[in-house]
Structure 1
């Protein structure tokens, strides 16, 4: 008969709590040295407290307070840590605490900002808001009505700017308290990778996809027929790229469950969907409930599959890796056989949906790329220069010219921690994983338990691996005909662009699109 102690150990086997305790023992062992035991023990006590608070925040979503002494303790431990796994744990924790330290002073301000974003904007007899701006624009076939609404939300955008500037000043002040020169350096610490290198990836994506995107946009404009290409503006993009699939939640969840079972993944992994944050960029393409359910399911499966020996390795590492698996599952909405078999989608809706969904996915990645470039380029510029840069980056991503007022409220599109870099990298990684899945298992990879085993192997490490390390494990997935000493980057946007091209209708006939 088992002792009470062994029963308890068995009960908690595989839980994050046991993994946390095990990793805590590793960290304690490595932190203590013979020549500075008291200082090391004091520092370790601080780190243990930080880990407890962070774990509580991740599991319960409760706000926690951090201070500079805790940041300093983490920095000192990182500098002396020799064990690679413990070093990653400390580094990820340090990034998390830095962001929390900066954000804890703006919680009330963020609530005020969100309240303004959801406050009503009157247009005729409609009650709208910034939060649902593009959802409304996607329903308006009349370009004049779209422009009227863009003008109607302008005062709300102006009202937000003072609050956003206060937030920016607070972030800059906190960055200096953390001994960082500016918000760009802070973003690099929070992201745990070089954001300037992310800007290089952003430039590569835009350059690689410009021709395909612009050609496809011209086709949509031609078929729509309400505006010449030179008059198409930012308010018209949500209409041109509106989704065609409106799938009931129950039916979609049944399809997700069926797919998870085909992949031989435990359905219990879907017991708790990951909460998705509210969108903060007013001109992003509108997201459907269908997209959000699949995206959240991708996050849930990835987290469920993590077996890394510390919660930091499962939850606080390279966020672009987590985004990749969410985008991968959301990508089922662009898999024709999945749409036919699981959702019963038929022609001509299938071809129409694939065209618009693929182009919208590419544009979403392009918008993330533009924001990364905008945030990196804006440092050291005055307001007039920043406004001009914003217009250049965003108009290129959208493929349209900006009207004189389009960049007036550019502060509303700020991304101070450059979270868009994670989203951009996630889209690129997802396409490379998707390419590898198709290469190994065929177009209907989602039917095969072997593909599920392949994904589960990738999920084991959670967010421990960087994007580059994950792709190295794939053997540079998606980088065709590249040798061991290849010159191309591992984060290669070409698979995303090639994949998009396979889903697009070239020279779209007017009879096929529902304009």
Structure 2
């Protein structure tokens, strides 16, 4: 296939898949039909085109090689997912349409997660979790078949396993990253355990030996803090903050907010870059309180990045490349909800210390969870068989977060193409970038009108730089968890 045509078709396919994911995730479409979309692009999604791109990338000059490498990685991920698309469609459709009954009340599967987080009673949380896990378990045979198809596709593409395919095409040292993740777990273990025990006993009245993942979901929902995070100030506080930095919170009218509650809307907030930079949708299923703010600001970071991307950049540098870059921008804005001075100034919280401390603990929990997930996913996607991986998964997650963790999630709690690695890298880089902003624009960089110009310059580049390249340009240290550890220690000690 002609390279120009391949790029045009790749952009069209990605846009179609993104729109489908948006409609299904936002609860606007009852059935997922990704397989049908892939069928329309059969000429692009072929082994022949993949091999041709491999050959072209091997011989290309550096500027063109960057574009081809990004396109090749994306096509490799597409071929793997396409092989399982019909199965994944069935999973998403079944879960979107599933209903559960708990204590005589019926609700959708997706509503049950929100209800679980809101419930103050441990036994109710456990019942809601059990109902959710039944739905997930019913879909696990489909997920298992999907993973096996993905692994078979990696082998057909000439790689010993999915892990090797992803590592080779992405250029990421997943093994080295996992080792750094284990170091992060070791060095934050004592701090995490002390805080976990304190929060379980004081905030939840749950004995540490009896605590489970659903209890932590309620802890981080923090309903006692709802008065600090009124729904009416959610968008307004973001606008006030961004305008102080001389930033347009609407991304020049390119960002659409979807904040409406819907029974089948995904409880997981997301940003849908439908046409970068012209059309971006930010989707949040409102549940109230701090979690709405954290989710909204995180996704707003993505949305602003995409909406400010240079429209003249090639497709590969607007959409593809190092996804840790856009996650960094998301984490940076999301971190404001854990900043005590930001809470005082923009939300008028008189004593924000406890809220900021809980946010920092949540950040520590999430980073530890991602570190454990990466280790598990390396096993999952390098294994010859899926036998016994439920126990491997549950052991890895429980070992990191130190509460009971459901083995049923061993395939549902897996992001495609080792996206967990992107999250980890972004956690680490965001801590470095925030420290850079503090040193350059002072502690309250989010109120400095010069900060906006700097951020717009970063956003304008789209995905044209890796985290390592951005770090080098800014004079930052090597990409490790060290700054994140220092930051968390300072906030939580």
TM-score norm. by structure 2 comes to 0.81
**How far does residue 456 in structure 1 lie from its aligned partner after superposition?**
2.9
Q: Does 1:54 align with 2:17?
A: no
Q: Does the 8 Å CA contact 2:220/2:291 hold for their aligned counterparts?
A: no
| 205-214 or 437-446, which deviates more | 205-214
**Whole-Å separation in 1 of the counterparts to 2:418 and 2:232:** 35
Contact 1:46 1:73 in 2 (8 A): no
Structure-2 residue corresponding to 1:455? 455
In structure 2, the residue matched to 1:164 is 143
The within-5 A match list for 1:103-118 is 103-118=81-96
Secondary structure of residue in 1 paired with 2:330: helix
The Cα offsets for residues 363-382 of structure 1, whole Å up to 9 and x where unpaired, read as 11221111111011333365
The answer to whether the Cα contact below 8 Å between 1:242 and 1:356 also exists between their aligned partners in 2 is no
State the match for 1:440 in structure 2. 440
1:103-152 alpha-carbon deviations (Å, 9 max, x no partner): 23433322221233331111112234553454333222222222233333
* Residue aligning to 1:319: 323
The aligned counterpart of 1:215 is 194
Contact kept? 2:7, 2:315, Cα under 8 Å: no
Contact 2:211 2:403 in 1 (8 A): yes
Residue deviations 1:135-175, cap 9 Å, x none? Answer: 33322222222223333333222211111011112211221
Aligned partner (choices 362, 365, 369) of residue 363 of structure 1: 365
* Equivalent of 1:202 in 147, 160, 181: 181
User: CA–CA distance in 2 between the matches of 1:491 and 1:89?
Assistant: 23
**Structure 2: unaligned runs, 5 residues or longer:** 20-36, 259-264, 270-286
Structure 1 pair 144–267 and aligned structure 2 pair: CA distance change class (3 A): closer
Count of residues in Structure 1 that have an aligned counterpart in Structure 2: 439
Contact 1:47/1:70, CA 8 A, preserved across alignment: no
Whether the 8 Å CA contact 1:234–1:400 is kept in 2: the answer is yes
In 2, distance between residues paired with 1:72 and 1:123?
A: 52
Check 1:152–1:182 CA distance in 2 against 1; reply closer, same or farther (3 A cut).
Answer: same
Q: Which runs of 5+ in 1 are unaligned?
A: 1-44, 480-489, 507-515
Q: Does residue 339 of structure 2 align to residue 335 of structure 1?
A: yes
Cα 1:193/1:225, change in 2 over 3 Å: closer
Are 2:428 and 2:484, in contact at CA under 8 Å, matched by a contact in 1?
Answer: yes
Structure 1 residue 413 corresponds to structure 2 residue 413: yes
CA contact (8 A) 1:270 1:300 kept: no
Corresponding residue number in structure 1 for 2:154: 175
2:480 to 492, 497, 500: 492
Whether the 8 Å contact between 2:326 and 2:463 is mirrored in structure 1 is yes
Q: Over aligned residue pairs, what C-alpha RMSD do you find?
A: 2.8
3-state SS of paired residue (2:418): coil
SS in 2 for 1:127: strand
Name which one, 1 or 2, has greater alpha-carbon Rg.
1
Q: Quote the residue 1:85 is aligned against.
A: 63
Alignment check: 8 A CA contact 2:84 2:147 kept: no
CA contact (8 A) 2:114 2:267 kept: no
Q: What does 1:175-324 correspond to in 2, within 5 Å?
A: 175-189=154-168, 191-224=170-203, 226-243=205-222, 244-245=225-226, 247=229, 251-267=233-249, 269=251, 271-273=253-255, 278=266, 288-307=291-310, 309-324=313-328
**Residue 274 (structure 2) aligns with:** none
TM-score by length of structure 1 reads: 0.78
* Pair 1:129–1:413, CA change in 2 (3 A): farther
Q: Is the 8 A contact 2:255 2:307 kept in 1?
A: no
Q: Return the structure number with greater relative CO, CA threshold 8 A, min gap 6.
A: 1
Query: Which residue does 2:73 correspond to in 1?
Result: 95
Change (3 A) 1:443 1:140: same
Aligned to 2:400: 397
Aligned with 1:241: secondary structure?
helix
Aligned counterparts of 1:76 and 1:170: Cα–Cα separation in 2? 25
How far is the alpha carbon of 1:395 from its aligned partner?
0.6
DSSP-derived class of the 2:106 partner = strand
Quickly say closer, same or farther: Cα 1:177–1:271, change in 2 above 3 A: farther
Q: Aligned equivalents of 1:291 and 1:375: distance in 2?
A: 26
Q: Distance in 2 between matches of 1:225 and 1:100?
A: 43
* Distance 1:470-1:239 versus aligned 2 partners, 3 A rule: same
Verify the 8 A CA contact 1:96 1:316 in the aligned structure 2: yes
* Whole-Å separation in 2 of the counterparts to 1:454 and 1:233: 42
Deviation at 1:355, TM superposition (A): 2.0
Residues 241 and 187 (structure 1), Cα distance of their counterparts in 2 relative to 1, 3 Å cut: same
Residue 273 (structure 1) shift: 3.3
